[in-house]
A and B are shown apart, each in its own frame.
Chain A
Amino acid sequence: AAPSQHRMWPLAAWAGLGLAQCSGRRGQRRVECVVFNEEYMTCMWGSRETLMANYSLYYWYENRSPVVECKHYLQDRGISVGCHFNQSEIIQFEPFHVLVNASLGGKTLEIPSKRMELQDLVKPEAPVNLTIRNMSNNQLQLTWTSLYPRPQCLEHAIKYKSNKDTSWTEHQVKGDVFSFPSVDYEKYYTFYVRSKINSYCGTTQLWSEWSVPVVWGSNSTSKGTAEEPLHWFWIHTVLIPIVSCLLLLVLVVLLVRMERVWVILMPRIPNPSKNFDDLFITHKGNFQEWAGVPKDVMESFKPNYSENICYVSELPPKDSYEPLWEGSNHPPSLMPGALAAPREHSPYKNSYVGV
């Protein structure tokens, strides 16, 4: 049993290694190299959790030096997971090749890599010394320092947010200055910057880490966190309107109940009926009586009213003068047109009544 088990062990190990490689190929296991700020480089091929064998790395530059083994392996709990390259071992703009050998039980498998150009694998250091200056017209100017040896080969990205914003805003700049156009002095701003090799000096998508942030503005709340705007939103849009409506309702109810206040706000329409109580009650609607109209005037308005006629005649100047008839209550009745022809039977011949 023991010899058979001994024979089975390499087979099992190779089966495991083969499975690991197969799963690696299916999962596209490959060597990933990154040049950090052109100071050193690491080429990683996995982690302790996924690796089982002993690994060794060989590299060479096309048409240059011979194949060289890694001088400084990166270990993770006894397993090689990567290789560290010094600055002197990094040559840009030369095709770079890497070959990783996985050995287990005396057998070796190769993990090839694609041809690489190291200038396209540069990851610069994050910018430092972020500084904000107040400029005119409510502008802010953000500046920083790059630790990368060739700052002209960099492009940058700025990320900022105020304490009243819910998401970050990002801008791309080519120089090392960013102007923030209009700032609100009641807000609290936070700025981050990161860098990347620009397209003139390489072809890479490796951004640096975000810098240490710089802040600006009034910090009236204890901490300008993202949840605070949400809190204020609920207060402003829900609580305050409801309280206002309730308060208004209470005031209206009070107004209606307190007649003294209500009368001032809503004065009553004047009712002059009291002034006419004497007319309607004492005189029983007799307006003339109430107004004090004289009786003879009232009589004159009657339709069967008749008035005594007073005769008037004119005495000729040459004829004898006869005494005037004065205020007689019994003058003879005068018919229309009777003045033109004096009556023979009238004792008052050619007489007139003076006024």
Chain B
Amino acid sequence: LSHEKWTVRMRFTFFRSIFRVLPLLLVLSPVNSSSCAMGNKTTEIRAKYEHILSHDVNELVNMSAEYRDRCCKNKKHENSKVFFCNDTQEIESLQSMACNMLRFFHKQKISKDFRWKAALVSCGTLQVLQCKCERHKKEKVCIQINTHTKEDTESSEQFKKKCNQEFCELKENISSLRSCWNKFEKMISR
């Protein structure tokens, strides 16, 4: 080959190699990079959780236990992966659970008090961890939670909804969220 042809070939080879690397870099780069700003500040997270958020979480769990859940037994949920609290990725798991829980805020089949409390805990979790959800629409719920007071248009005793699939999924979500917080606390207490 002449020198010019060799040079052109090398250029093409070089760019082809770069272009191959770039897709490879895109594949290897973490797609779901954590969008939580409090990742390393475990002491601060712990203080906020223990002094503030844990009370709301316990209230939500107790509220969840008051509702009829006979229809929830032996049911497998589609988003079961959301309920995992992965080892060494507790914060990311909490973020995923909190963001997932926000979608129940508009489910009319679920009691309003219960939905509101669940949204409050979700927003509190996101606030403590300083996380954002992938779908930013969900965060509008937190703005609504923080700025508006819930109108007492129903009493919890009169308007308890019947057991349904969405309620079961929310209940599972709440249980997983609390369990994941416990795991986080235990992990940082070593």
Q: A119-B182, A200-B54, A201-B182 are in contact. Are A93 and B85 (CB under 8 A)?
A: yes
- CA–CA, A117 to B172, complex, Å? 13
Instruction: Count residues of A near B (Cβ-Cβ below 8 Å).
Output: 15
- CA–CA, A119 to B182, complex, Å? 9
- Chain B residues lying within 8 Å of A63, measured Cβ to Cβ, are 80, 84
Contact B179 A201 (CB under 8 A): no
Query: Which of A27-35, A145-153, A178-186 makes up part of the contact surface?
Result: A145-153
- CA–CA, A152 to B80, complex, Å? 31
Is B58 on the interface with A (CB-CB < 8 A)? yes
Q: Mark A154-183, 1 if CB is under 8 A from B, else 0.
A: 000000000000000000000000000000
Is A224 on the interface with B (CB-CB < 8 A)? no
- Chain B residues lying within 8 Å of A199, measured Cβ to Cβ, are 54, 58
Interface size class, chain B: 10 to 19
Closest A residue, CB atoms, query B54 = A200
Is A143 on the interface with B (CB-CB < 8 A)? no
- Chain A residues lying within 8 Å of B179, measured Cβ to Cβ, are 93, 117, 119
Q: A93-B179, A93-B180, A200-B49 are in contact. Are A119 and B58 (CB under 8 A)?
A: no
Q: Mark A309-340, 1 if CB is under 8 A from B, else 0.
A: 00000000000000000000000000000000
- Chain A residues lying within 8 Å of B182, measured Cβ to Cβ, are 93, 119, 200-203
Q: A199-B58, A200-B54 are in contact. Are A153 and B185 (CB under 8 A)?
A: yes
Interface of A is mostly: loop
Closest A residue, CB atoms, query B179 = A93
- CA–CA, A92 to B49, complex, Å? 21
Q: Mark A9-30, 1 if CB is under 8 A from B, else 0.
A: 0000000000000000000000
Q: A152-B189, A200-B54 are in contact. Are A93 and B183 (CB under 8 A)?
A: yes
List of 7 A-B pairs having minimum Cβ-Cβ separation, nearest first: A152-B189, A93-B183, A200-B185, A150-B189, A201-B186, A201-B185, A153-B189
Q: Which residues of B contact A (CB under 8 A)?
A: 49-50, 54, 58, 80, 84-85, 178-183, 185-186, 189-190
Can you add 5 more A-B contacts, CB < 8 Å, to A119-B179, A153-B185? A92-B186, A152-B189, A200-B182, A201-B182, A203-B178
